[in-house]
Amino acid sequence: MLSHWRQYLAISPFFLIFGVFSFFPVFYSLYLAFQRWDGLGTVQFVGLQQFRFLWDDPVFWLSIRNTLVIWVLSTVPTLFGALVLATLLHSVRRFKGFYRIALYVPNVTSIVAVSIFFGAVFSNNFGLVNAILGTVGISPVPWLSNPWLIKLVIALLMTWMWTGYNMIIYLAGLQAIPAQIYEAARLDGAGPIRTFFQITMPIMRPIILFTVIISTINGLQSFSEPQVLFGSNAANPNLGGPGQAGLTTLLYFYQSAFVNNDYGYGAAIVWAFFVLIMVLVVVNWRLVQRGRKS
């Protein structure tokens, strides 16, 4: 081991930076979850009090529900849409590069810019969508004040951003499937729909599971979308939209720690959320195992 010190030295910057900026803060936040701290004053040990507060806090549970609803509403159409688009793109003959770029662009645009754009398009009073609905005689829909529609708009935004990303992954998977298999299926008289469900889907299974896990991680961390859509200022601290319908867990964490200067409580929120994500990962893993056995 010591004879390889040069190699270890060469890779050490990553581990040093990781240790200082990632590893240490993670465990420091665990320490903070048992304290009360306003960011500047003395750190006061309070035991499990923060978690007691968390258990009794209806807003925390509301934020968990919001996060899960937004996650389901965005992940299902994202992955389904990505698979359909990838299949279509796989069979397209001309302008392949153009379609790929066009569909991937939403993922690289600034999330803040997209959120501002969505906020303007779905605005209750002066939005483009309501203006179009108005021309066909439909009265304005309260997109950004109805609790369900708020979640729908956020989910739509996330779908718009992440479909292209998943599509690229699927496309790579599709291109790896040998053409002979499809030829054989065609000779056996299978139509396009049957081919899709009997051949494409089973072969793509590991890739789909990969994207499900990535989407779980991304979807549960929704923060910027509601943060920008319901922007805060001095007179109106960001509460996650009317009735807190767009308050995600990470946004609640941000508010508690950085707006209310309650770092201990913020740490408790993220650690409780971490436990929840772990549970979901286990569920995912179980699904993978079951898929392997059958």
Partner 1 sequence: MDLSRRGFLQAAALTAAASGLTVACGGGSGSAGSKNGKNLTLWYWGGALSDKVVAEARTHFSGQVKLTAASIGGDFKQKLTTTLAAGASVPDITGIKGEDMASFLPNAGRFLDLNDLGFKKIASQYLDWKTKLAQTEDGKQIGFPIDIGPTALFYRADLFDKAGLPTDPDKVAARAGTWEEYFALGTELREKVPGTYLVNNIGSVFTMAVGQGTERFIDKDNHFIGDQGHIRKAWTTAVRPYTLGLDAKINDNTWNAAVGKTLSTELGAAWHALDIEQAAPKTKGKWRVCAMPGGPANQGGSYLALPKQCRNPEEAFKIISWILSPENDARGFTDAAIFPAAPAAYAMPAMTGGDPFFGGQKVIDVFGPAAKAIPAAYEAPADAAVMAPFMTELSSIEAKGKKPEDAWKDAVAQARQIARRQGVN
**51 binds partner 1 per the rule CB under 8 A:** no
> Are the C-beta atoms of residues 227 and 102 closer than 8 Å to each other?
no
Q: Measured between alpha carbons, how far is 62 from 42 in angstroms, rounded to an integer?
A: 31
Tokens linked to 85: 């688009």
CB of 44 to partner 1, least distance (A): 9
Among 157, 174, 250, 269, binds partner 1 (CB under 8 A): 250
- Residue number with CB closer to partner 1 (35 or 200): 35
Could you say whether residue 132 binds partner 1 (CB under 8 A)? no
Q: What is the DSSP string of the chain?
A: -GGGHHHHHHHHHHHHHHIIIIIHHHHHHHHHTTEE--SSS--EE-TTHHHHHHHT-HHHHHHHHHHHHHHHHHHHHHHHHHHHHHHHHHH--SSHHHHHHHHHHHHHS-HHHHHHHHHHHT-TTT-HHHHHHHHTTPPPP-TTTSHHHHHHHHHHHHHHHHHHHHHHHHHHHHHTS-HHHHHHHHHTT--HHHHIIIIIHHHHHHHHHHHHHHHHHHHHT--HHHHHHT---SSS---SSGGGTT--HHHHHHIIIIIS--HHHHHHHHHHHHHHHHHHHHHHHHHHHHHHH-
Among 12, 175, 198, 260, binds partner 1 (CB under 8 A): 260
Chosen residue from 7, 11, 56, 289 binding partner 1 by CB under 8 A: 56
Q: Does 11 bind partner 1 (CB under 8 A)?
A: no
Binding mask 143-162 for partner 1 (x = CB under 8 A): -xxxx---------------
We find the least distance from the C-beta atom of residue 112 to partner 1, in angstroms, to be 5
Q: Which member of 162, 170, 252, 265 binds partner 1 (CB under 8 A)?
A: 265
Binding part of the chain for partner 1, among 2-10, 63-71, 114-122, 131-139 by CB under 8 A, reads: 114-122
Residue 231 binds partner 1 (CB under 8 A)? yes
Torsion of Cα atoms, 70 then 72 then 77 then 80, to 10°: 150
Stretch that binds partner 1, among 88-96, 100-108, 173-181, 228-236 (CB under 8 A): 228-236
Site size with partner 1, rule: CB under 8 A: 64
Q: Provide, rounded to whole angstroms, the least separation between the CB of residue 77 and partner 1.
A: 20
Determine the interface stretch with partner 1 among 190-198, 225-233, 271-279, 286-294 (rule: CB under 8 A).
Answer: 225-233
Residue with Cβ nearer partner 1 (56 or 188): 56
What residues make contact with partner 1 under the rule CB under 8 A?
20-22, 24-26, 28-29, 32, 36, 38-41, 43, 50, 53, 56-59, 110-112, 116, 119-120, 123-127, 142, 144-147, 221, 223-224, 227-231, 234-237, 239, 241-245, 250, 254, 257-262, 265
